[in-house]
A and B are shown apart, each in its own frame.
Chain A
């Protein structure tokens, strides 16, 4: 479990060399409409380094089989690789044990798992769940489904005009009825970094458990679930330079083992008869059916990759990009940045006075620049700031200041056309 940490430590002295890092990502050599690809949509999904691609290919080329089944050599090796990935994740998040790491199909499924298993078991009519106004739909809708099913109350912590969470309002909302807090660590639409450790401490003081949506946090900063004291923490491996098709749910072991299975099937049972079936402990209890084996192996490689570079180095690089992009884009006439919280990750959402985000997206795309446009699965955020949609540039470890300049020039072209 300590191997990864050791590698990261050994390499932390290396200077952050973005040009060398870019060589690791084959897709960055692509051209779009005859122009170099400028990929500023890592917040939606990040690109994959060769190491991840190779690890997944090698898994299928040399030792692929189903896991936790069969005594043959391939199954054994696949199982070892799959469980090794779990070990890497546990180390990466500083979990106490690999038993606290559940593989899901995506981060959304992790939240739905907690809503259905924990929620339906431990919540009842009249109980309250608190979320924030800047949640992704994935951290809103599962709780609404639970509300409609159980008759619980869903309360929403407001955000201020800059996108900061209203901690005073949150403190007021917490009370004896609060049973669960579902909160984003970093807002996908505003870039706000929430003071999640405070959020968790305050919730615990009120006797509530906390699920953290870490999808936008894990790729950008080191996360220590023990230090945060999070009860549940989900993240999306495909945003961490890993593959799609796999998600991660961290849960405290004692809580997970108090929760009933959510889905039934193979691999999650101890024994099955028609009269009575007994279940595995966590995490296998929550991994019914054949899991995303190759994807888990790819995620393990992604964690090795970012750990070798060092999350603190990645965070520092991206913070530099954020400041540069904020400054550069702010100087464009008619451009308004949505989300200017005090603590921000490398996500810049913006609108132009002369053009709709969709038109911005189409036009900059012809300049080779990939950005996200739309409501970012966060429609309440759009409503809060009085916009139907935004354009969003989100940065990853492979982005450069030159690419920010390309974006800024492309936005100038939009203004030429529409202003």
Chain B
């Protein structure tokens, strides 16, 4: 019925939305932050474990939200596990630029390896849905806040 919606709601995204990965509160973590989207009331918590070498050894989340925000959070946890904090920040910036239309996804993703580029590209459909960008970026902003030691952020 609405073909262009398939750019946003790809099968992989629907799957992550329904069956989010790393959807848990771990027993131990080094940082956490709460992310709120006041427009829709969605809220999620991101838990990070960062070791002495500034590498993210574990990342997980809990909360509720739409398919886009849950899928984005789920895919983010898969991408960032084992990632140095600096690299995580680069991925975060790249994803943010993709969502807000700062350059083409192809240009932005050129420097990343195939797996990361493919995942971020899947989420890039949200560019065409400006009202939904905040859904896609909520978990990422929250992760960034946790890294920086902030405890709560809002996407407004």
Among the listed stretches A15-23, A140-148, A270-278, A352-360, which one makes contact with chain B, having 4 or more residues with CB under 8 Å of it?
A: A352-360
Nearest Cβ on chain A to B25's Cβ, whole angstroms: 18
Q: B132 contacts which chain A residues (CB < 8 A)?
A: 358, 362
Among B4, B39, B131, B135, contact of A366 (Cβ-Cβ < 8 Å): B4
The answer to whether B4 touches A356, judged by C-beta atoms less than 8 angstroms apart, is no
Q: A375-B41, A388-B42, A388-B65 in contact; A416/B5 too (CB < 8 A)? A: no
How many angstroms between the C-alpha atoms of A388 and B70 in the bound complex? 14
Q: A362-B131, A389-B42 in contact; A413/B65 too (CB < 8 A)? A: no
Among A358, A367, A416, contact of B135 (Cβ-Cβ < 8 Å): A358
Chain B's interface: helix, strand, loop or mixed, by majority? mixed
The answer to whether B66 touches A357, judged by C-beta atoms less than 8 angstroms apart, is yes
| B23-71 interface (Cβ within 8 A of A) | 39-43, 64-69
Q: How many A-B residue pairs have CB under 8 A?
A: 60
Q: B43 contacts which chain A residues (CB < 8 A)?
A: 388
Q: A355-B67, A357-B66 in contact; A362/B5 too (CB < 8 A)? A: yes
The answer to whether A388 touches B67, judged by C-beta atoms less than 8 angstroms apart, is no
> Interface residue count for A (Cβ, 8 Å)?
22
Nearest Cβ on chain B to A417's Cβ, whole angstroms: 6
The answer to whether B2 touches A367, judged by C-beta atoms less than 8 angstroms apart, is yes
How many angstroms between the C-alpha atoms of A363 and B6 in the bound complex? 10
B: which residues have CB within 8 A of A?
A: 1-2, 4-5, 8-9, 14, 18, 39-43, 64-69, 129, 131-132, 135
Contact sample, A vs B, 10 pairs, CB 8 Å cutoff: A356-B67, A362-B5, A362-B8, A366-B2, A367-B2, A375-B41, A379-B41, A388-B64, A389-B41, A418-B14
The answer to whether B67 touches A359, judged by C-beta atoms less than 8 angstroms apart, is yes
Nearest Cβ on chain A to B92's Cβ, whole angstroms: 22
The answer to whether B9 touches A417, judged by C-beta atoms less than 8 angstroms apart, is yes
Closest 3 A/B residue pairs (Cβ): A358-B66, A356-B66, A375-B41
How many angstroms between the C-alpha atoms of A383 and B140 in the bound complex? 26
How many angstroms between the C-alpha atoms of A418 and B129 in the bound complex? 18
Nearest Cβ on chain A to B86's Cβ, whole angstroms: 33
Nearest Cβ on chain A to B45's Cβ, whole angstroms: 14
| A398-417 interface (Cβ within 8 A of B) | 410, 413, 416-417
Q: A356-B65, A388-B64 in contact; A362/B129 too (CB < 8 A)? A: yes
Q: B129 contacts which chain A residues (CB < 8 A)?
A: 362
Q: A108 contacts which chain B residues (CB < 8 A)?
A: none
Nearest Cβ on chain B to A389's Cβ, whole angstroms: 5
**In the assembled complex, A382 has its CB within 8 A of some CB on chain B:** yes
**In the assembled complex, A291 has its CB within 8 A of some CB on chain B:** no
Q: B69 contacts which chain A residues (CB < 8 A)?
A: 358
